[in-house]
Amino acid sequence: GLAVSLRAVTKVYDNGVMALGPLDLDVTKGEFVSLLGPSGCGKSTALRLIAGLNAPTSGTVGVFHRPGEERAGHSIGFVFQEPTLMPWTSVRENVRLPLKLARAAAAEANARVSEALTQVGLAEFADAYPRELSGGMKMRVSLARALVTDPDLLLMDEPFAALDEITRFRLNNDLLSLWRNLHKTVIFVTHSVFESVYLSQRVVVMSARPGRITAEIRIDAPEPRG
Ligand code: ADP
Ligand code: ADP
């Protein structure tokens, strides 16, 4: 089935900038798709519309969540380029935040936080503070915070763009392992051709003014990569 379905979606910001569209995009459940394109082509706008953080100017944004869930928001994890961690509280509390907002029970929340930290390789850093961590580790915390609600859909907006190349490559490989183990749908925004081809099953290429899809490339991957 589909995880996301955009139909004739446009976005015109209040200042008159036509950022997007019309855009049609279907993403299948479990798929890893990259949105690739130059700065300003509307990649972030597309992600924010899918996340429900912005409303489209016209068209429809369909996000298919788990049956029985009140809001689709609970099954979406969002990772930004800036880790945006709360500096005054520990890694564990940073990762716990979405569960607090969702009013999860304490025992279950503890278990979920530990699991998410293990998934990103930071189990031993639960009591550290963000300032003690490297850029790559902060990004791992941000990823754990996105995973802690066990979302079906992971939206990632140039998450590794500010990291050095080696750290970025490690995180690419770890993200691939996570994707293979967790069977989540991932939409990954990048302007790196390498990253898009390396990570995803399908690369959606966008061009600017207004943001449109100009090509779609399927990556054949008979063997697991990474
Ligand atoms: P990308 O993620 O590909 O760099 P964005 O979606 O951030 O592209 O931006 C697409 C276009 O919309 C750009 O021209 C940008 O300046 C404009 N834009 C983005 N956000 C806003 C906003 N909140 N208000 C006005 N214009 C915006
Ligand atoms: P990555 O995030 O891919 O592990 P980093 O460059 O962020 O790469 O860190 C490399 C390794 O160095 C980390 O996995 C961690 O084991 C160690 N490390 C980095 N910063 C710290 C720190 N502040 N305290 C302890 N170990 C650290």
Instruction: Give 43-69 pLDDT, tens digit per residue.
Output: 999 999 999 999 999 999 999 876 655
Cα of 135 vs centre of ligand 1, distance in Å, is 25
pLDDT of residue 74: 55
CB 143, CB 85: distance < 8 Å: no
Cα of 41 vs centre of ligand 1, distance in Å, is 7
Q: Which strand (E) or helix (H) includes residue 213?
A: strand 212-218
Low-confidence ranges of the chain (pLDDT < 70): 66-74, 221-226
For residue 206, the ligand 1 atom closest to its alpha carbon is 3
Spell out the alpha helix ranges (H) of 90-163.
91-101, 106-119, 135-147
For residue 191, the ligand 1 atom closest to its alpha carbon is 3
Residues with beta carbon inside 6 Å of ligand 1? Answer: 13, 15, 17, 19, 37, 39-45
pLDDT of residue 216: 92
pLDDT of residue 21: 83
Residue nearest to atom 20 of ligand 1 (CA): 45
The ligand placed nearest to the CA atom of residue 139 is: 2
CB 145, CB 102: distance < 8 Å: no
Cα of 122 vs centre of ligand 2, distance in Å, is 10
Residue nearest to atom 12 of ligand 2 (CA): 134
Residue nearest to atom 2 of ligand 2 (CA): 136
Residue nearest to atom 14 of ligand 2 (CA): 137
pLDDT of residue 80: 93
pLDDT of residue 66: 65
Per the omega criterion (within 30 degrees of 0), is the bond before 210 cis?
Answer: yes
Q: Helix count (H) and strand count (E) of the chain?
A: 6, 9
pLDDT of residue 49: 96
